Structure 1
Amino acid sequence: MQPTVQSLLDHPALALGLLTPSAQLPEGALAARVAWAHSSDLADPTPFLDAGHVLLTTGTQFGDDAEAGFAAAYVGRLRETGVAALGFGTEVIREGTPESLVEACAAQGLPLFEVPYRVPFIAIARTVADLIAEDAFARQAWALNAQRAISLAALRPDGLSATLAELSHRLGAWVGLIDATGSLDREAPADGLGQPLLGEVVGEARSMLRRGQRASRTLVAGESTASPQRMTLQTLGGGGALRGVLAIGDSPELDQAGREVVTSVIALAGLALEQNRDLDRARGHLRSGLLRGILAGDLTLAERVATEMWGPLPSAPMRIAVTDAPLTAVDRLTELLELRVEERGGRLFFGRDDEQFVLVLEEADSGLADEIAAEFELPVGLSDPVGTGGIALAHEQALRAVERARESGSGVVHFDEISRQGVLAFLARTDARAVALATLAPLTEHDAESGTALLTTTRTWLEHGGQFDATAQALGVHRHTVRSRIALAERLLGRDLSGFHARADLWAALLAVD
């Protein structure tokens, strides 16, 4: 136990007497930890003192020629330095302790004790040193015992959970592991941290994971509540491939020895998660092989292997979802999908196909596409529902849909959104924009130079099936005006717009530039 002012006062061999009434001292003053004991009779010894020191003096500086107010200023300097207590050795220079010093210590809340003549200052310093050494040895022994127990816990069947439970027991604090997807994976004790504190911890862990860099954070959770808690968060895994975040509640055991124990747990947890990562990679290769069989229509082998590994494949009607697999998100996305597979008893299948993830979903799980798009800010394409014989077609639909989703960067595009717009609209969105701009250039340039509305008129005319009266009514002009504008557009474009082929080509160009 580290020495305190009270433990020195209680030490029978020192026979120290407290001169400042405890009732007049600040709360916790006698419980303050003592870092060292130093003796000095200087009028200002503070340059040689640090916070937590006990100063011992024989009172030479308190001679008869001391100025009025010297004691108050002397004590004030000690208080500003953070001195834990002042000891006055009597009958060496003078008898008793100066009354002015007693009054100044009582007024400023500095514990003052009297040291009998028979007790040398070196005995007090040695006692402080011995107690500090005993405390250091006890903390080292505690750390060794804790590390031994944690190492044994790591050898149990669920070594990671056992390790966290043992750490929680040793620290007397809540311990939680947030996985790479930003979800609370396990905790000890169970339900040991309620809301809103848990939500704040998980939110900060997700922020650390998104940065993708090794880091540690200190968070005061629940500051707006009646019982805020100081939490320590530490990432697990290497930069760019974080495996999770270890969160630890506040504990009096988190001194240097406690931090060493936590460091060993971080190493063990990181090793366990890396081993899981290697296993995940092997399972990922298996999934990719089975996926190729599923997309090729060979469900027999895939059904058998998937049932043994994860559970039965999704049942019809099902959808295919396709999303990109950027290197920065592969591991986190894989862990999220593995969790969702476990939650659904296998009725969800996924695998990597080159630079994409392909998901086979039951109709009820279509919302998973939205979850992926929101969590990872990725484009996702979702097919129409199909039976077991339509998987290849659904995959093709999802590929077309994810191409459309990439145009906006992220989000979910359902294939039926594309099919409702028609084939021509789809064709116009491929690589036709440059050609379309060149096709329409005569109209756009004429409008810019002459202030006409040929492009708008032509678009409206096509929208109304080439009907001049309907177009005139929509534009609010005379039908002869529409006729003259279309005639001019034909001359500028160098094509006859009376035929279906020419109109369809021009409409595709308009769609492409849109």
Structure 2
Amino acid sequence: MKPTVRTLLERGDLALTPLVDESHLPDGVLDAPVPWVHSSDLDDPAPFLEPGQVLLTTGTQFGADPSRDDPDVFDAYVARLEGAGLAALGFGAEVVRPATPAPLVEACERHGLPLFEVPYRVPFIRIARTIADLNAADANARQAWALQAQRAISLAALRPDGLGATLTELSQRLGTWVGLVDAAGALDREAPEGGLGQPALGEVVGEARSMLRRGQRASRTLEAGASVGRPQRMTLQTLGAGGALRGVLAIGESPELDQAGREVVTSVIALAGLALEQNRDLDRARGHLRSGLLRSMLAGDVHLASEVSAEMWGPLPADPVRVAVCDLPTEHIDRVAEFLELRVDERDGRLFFGRDGESVTIVMEDADSGIADELATEFDVPVGVSDAASVTRLAELHEQALRALDRARETGPGVTVFDDISRQGVLAFLARTDARAVARATLEPLIRHDEQNGTALLETTRAWLAHGGQFDATAQELGVHRHTVRSRIALAERLLGRDLSGFHARADLWAALLATD
């Protein structure tokens, strides 16, 4: 423990006499650590002092004649010391004056500065050496504590769940809550379990997710829980290299977090980073296995995937299943994998996913379709989801999910379900495919004629088809005579080179109109 002013006053060998009652002092001032003791008889020693030090003086600067004491001089002297952050003032008696000057005691009481008297038999150097020895002993003790803690943490890392054991050991050594937020932004481990309540825990996880999204190595301090009047100072540190972060380590406030404590935390960060990197290599190997099994399933061999999955993760999702496909952001490849691995663990394997080129395919039970929404929200990506059916129809469901993803890409991040677009019909779907270019070429003669001659052939043809080829209804909508409609349709037929009296030609032209909308 670092020495304090109270430590000096309680040392019997120093025989120091406090002259300012503790009731006149600010709270905790006697218990602040003292790094050094300085002696000076200058009128203004403040420029040569550092905050937290103790100053010793014989009072030469005040003179030997008490009758000439000016209270204002003493007050100004103490004010300068207080401004320099002095921890306490010691007056050496029987050197210049037989006792501490009364105006000095009064000034220290007014400014709340601890003052003690040093007897003549106690040299100033003894007080300075006492503080130096105590600080050295504390530094040695803290270094021994750090070495012991690092050894215990290293041994904990060798246990079956090395990462969890490491965090538990760190929590016990620091006497505070420690948590690990994984690369997917979920609380992976904490010690002690449930040691940080809401809303503080939610704020810590939220800030960790923000740090992970930025993708850069960083550390943050957070006053968590301030909204409910119980703020807790939390320190957050990213794990892993920039651009490939593996998680965030969160540590609660602790008196042990001095230089020695920070060295211990640094060793834990290194161990945790190494453990997570090893996990990433394993995850990548499992990812290759998943991708191979996915190709096998899409080719119709569900039996092989079922057997391997049962050994590795658990049974495949039960019917009915849905397939979801989402784009895979390059900067979030590992985070997406960890996000889905966590969901697999939560469901004892009844969720399957695999990487397919630049996308991820997920096979999930119908009741778990909310995972698609989580994925779209967390990673800001478009997601296509198939209808629900038997896993034996996986290839068909995968194709549905791909078509839904095509539609989802048009509207930006979010989920599009195949059922939503299938209800719009085939022709509506053509409007969002490569049929647009063909449709434009089909309608080009009408578009060019209207532009060159100021006619309304395209508008008339559209209205006529919408009314099922009825001239009267079309004329009424357009506000022209039905013979005008007839002549326009006849001209359109000549320009298009098509007879529009048959269903096939009309349907083809209607599809072209939809594709160009």
TM-score w.r.t. length of structure 2 = 0.93
Q: Distance in 2 between matches of 1:357 and 1:52?
A: 59
CA contact (8 A) 1:443 1:489 kept: no
Partner of 1:195: 198
Partner of 1:210: 213
Residue 294 of structure 1 is aligned with which of 273, 289, 297?
297
| Partner AA of 2:266 in structure 1 | T
Q: Distance in 1 between matches of 2:342 and 2:60?
A: 74
| Partner AA of 2:54 in structure 1 | V
| Partner AA of 1:83 in structure 2 | L
Matched residue of 1:286: which SS? helix
CA contact (8 A) 2:178 2:190 kept: yes
Matched residue of 2:394: which SS? helix
Alpha-carbon spacing, 1:492–1:23, altered in 2? closer, same or farther (3 Å):
farther
Q: Distance in 2 between matches of 1:363 and 1:482?
A: 56
Partner of 2:507: 504
Partner of 1:428: 431
Deviation (angstroms), 1:124: 1.0
Q: Distance in 1 between matches of 2:421 and 2:381?
A: 19
Residue 349 of structure 1 is aligned with which of 349, 352, 360?
352
Partner of 2:77: 74
Q: Which deviates more from structure 2 when the two are superposed, residues 108-117 or residues 306-315? A: 306-315
Deviation (angstroms), 1:314: 1.7
Partner of 2:87: 84
Alpha-carbon spacing, 1:508–1:24, altered in 2? closer, same or farther (3 Å):
same
Q: Distance in 2 between matches of 1:337 and 1:262?
A: 29
Partner of 2:165: 162
Partner of 2:337: 334
Residue 362 of structure 1 is aligned with which of 361, 365, 372?
365
Residue 176 of structure 1 is aligned with which of 167, 170, 179?
179
1:120 aligns with 2:123: yes
Partner of 1:30: 30
Show the 5 A alignment for 1:239-388: 239-388=242-391
CA contact (8 A) 1:352 1:358 kept: yes
Matched residue of 1:117: which SS? coil
Q: Which deviates more from structure 2 when the two are superposed, residues 496-505 or residues 415-424? A: 496-505
CA contact (8 A) 2:471 2:486 kept: no
Deviations 1:387-441 (A, max 9, x none): 2431111111112221121122222222222322222332332224455456556
Matched residue of 2:43: which SS? coil
CA contact (8 A) 1:439 1:493 kept: no
Alpha-carbon spacing, 1:289–1:136, altered in 2? closer, same or farther (3 Å):
same
| Partner AA of 1:361 in structure 2 | M
Q: Distance in 2 between matches of 1:126 and 1:453?
A: 103
Q: Distance in 1 between matches of 2:303 and 2:248?
A: 40
Matched residue of 1:329: which SS? helix
Show the 5 A alignment for 1:453-492: 455-474=458-477, 477-480=479-482, 483=485, 486-487=488-489, 490=492
Q: Distance in 2 between matches of 1:217 and 1:17?
A: 45
Deviation (angstroms), 1:448: 7.7
Partner of 2:421: 418
Deviation (angstroms), 1:157: 1.1
Q: Distance in 2 between matches of 1:312 and 1:418?
A: 31
Partner of 2:3: 3
Q: Distance in 2 between matches of 1:170 and 1:463?
A: 78
Q: Distance in 2 between matches of 1:229 and 1:182?
A: 21
Partner of 1:59: 59
Partner of 2:48: 48
Partner of 1:12: 12
Deviations 1:361-411 (A, max 9, x none): 222122211211111111211112222431111111112221121122222
Q: Which deviates more from structure 2 when the two are superposed, residues 87-96 or residues 124-133? A: 87-96
Deviation (angstroms), 1:474: 4.9
Alpha-carbon spacing, 1:472–1:36, altered in 2? closer, same or farther (3 Å):
farther
Partner of 1:101: 104
Q: Which deviates more from structure 2 when the two are superposed, residues 163-172 or residues 285-294? A: 285-294
Q: Distance in 1 between matches of 2:230 and 2:150?
A: 30
How many pairs are equivalent? 513
CA contact (8 A) 1:154 1:163 kept: yes
Matched residue of 2:33: which SS? coil
Q: Distance in 1 between matches of 2:175 and 2:195?
A: 11
Deviations 1:56-112 (A, max 9, x none): 111121125665511111111111111101111111122211211111100010001
**Structure 1 vs Structure 2: percent identity of aligned residues?**
70
Q: Which deviates more from structure 2 when the two are superposed, residues 261-270 or residues 378-387? A: 378-387
Deviation (angstroms), 1:8: 0.7
Q: Distance in 1 between matches of 2:512 and 2:173?
A: 71
Q: Which deviates more from structure 2 when the two are superposed, residues 191-200 or residues 338-347? A: 338-347
Partner of 1:236: 239
| Partner AA of 2:371 in structure 1 | L
Please, what is the CA RMSD of the aligned residues?
A: 2.4
CA contact (8 A) 1:324 1:379 kept: yes
Q: Distance in 1 between matches of 2:342 and 2:22?
A: 59
Deviations 1:2-28 (A, max 9, x none): 110100111112111111111111111
Deviations 1:104-136 (A, max 9, x none): 100010001111111111111111111110110
